[in-house]
Amino acid sequence: MPTFVDALSSDRFHTYQQWAQGDDVLARRLYTFNVQLSAALYGPLHMFEVALRNVTDRKMVADHGPDWLDDQALMTPYGIGQVQKARDTLNRQRKAGTHAQLVAELNLGFWIGLYSRQSQHLWHGLRPVFQARGIQRPALHGQLDALRSLRNRIAHYEPIIHLPLAQLYGNLTSITGWLSPSAAAWTQATSTWAAIYPGVPILVPVPGSKALQLDAQAIPTLPTI
């Protein structure tokens, strides 16, 4: 009969065993906590991603017209490739390929790419998308890309408990609010993050090493299984 570790794979579980210093029970609790934290971030990340693409698209339509996705002069090579990939997907699905369908099909990396250094020429027009004073494109892009990485780790069931989650969640809610106060209000009303996240570091450095281990103060906050 396959064990819990067999179901996960020993390689996947080994990361948690290392953090728990070989304590399999603590490792299972850590794994469970990672899943709970990932679930708590799903809704806020959902709203952030949908708001980013729709608010950005509306500004691009206003500045460049409804066919801006066809204007290769606006795009980086990466962006051009992503638009074509999205069109190919819609064609395989026998969909009409409307602008709205294309916007929804384009991945988060495409939308964040519009705020990259390579897309600096778009920044003057896109800056008003974010209702915040003093915002700078390089810092914003760094925050957006960190959220993209977090989203992808969650989507692929990877560990997130070693990340600076308090900072990431703060950036997530702030950026959502800059995009749409109404979207931020929805996130605040529906988020379970505050009830799940303990507000203290979960992992801390092992003395004299770059490795991480479970912080003893965080143990009482872990789910019991």
Q: What is the 3-state secondary structure (H, E, C) of the chain?
A: CCCHHHHHCHHHHHHHHHHCCCCHHHHHHHHHHHHHHHHHHHHHHHHHHHHHHHHHHHHHHHHHCCCHHHCHHHCCHHHHHHHHHHHHHHHHCCCCCCHHHHHHHCCHHHHHHCCCHHHHHHHHHHHHHCCCCCCCHHHHHHHHHHHHHHHHHHHCCCCCCCCCHHHHHHHHHHHHHHHCHHHHHHHHHHCCHHHHCCCCCCEEECCCCCCEEECHHHHHHCCCC
Q: Residue 61 domain-assigned?
A: yes
In a domain, 26, yes or no: no
Domain that holds residue 118: 40-198
Residue 35 has pLDDT above 90, yes or no: yes
Give pLDDT tens digits for 84-97. Answer: 999 999 999 999 99
- Inside any domain, residue 117: yes
pTM of the model: 0.94
Within-domain flag for 44? yes
23 assigned to some structural domain: no
| pLDDT for residue 111 | 99
The model's confidence at residue 201, banded by pLDDT at 50, 70 and 90, is confident
Question: What is the rounded average pLDDT of the residues 134-153?
Answer: 97
Q: What percent of the chain has pLDDT over 70?
A: 100
pLDDT band at 1 (very low <50, low <70, confident <90, very high): confident
pLDDT bracket for residue 54 (50, 70, 90) = very high
- Range 103-123 average pLDDT: 98
- What total of structural domains would you count in the chain? 1
Q: Would you say residue 110 lies in a domain?
A: yes
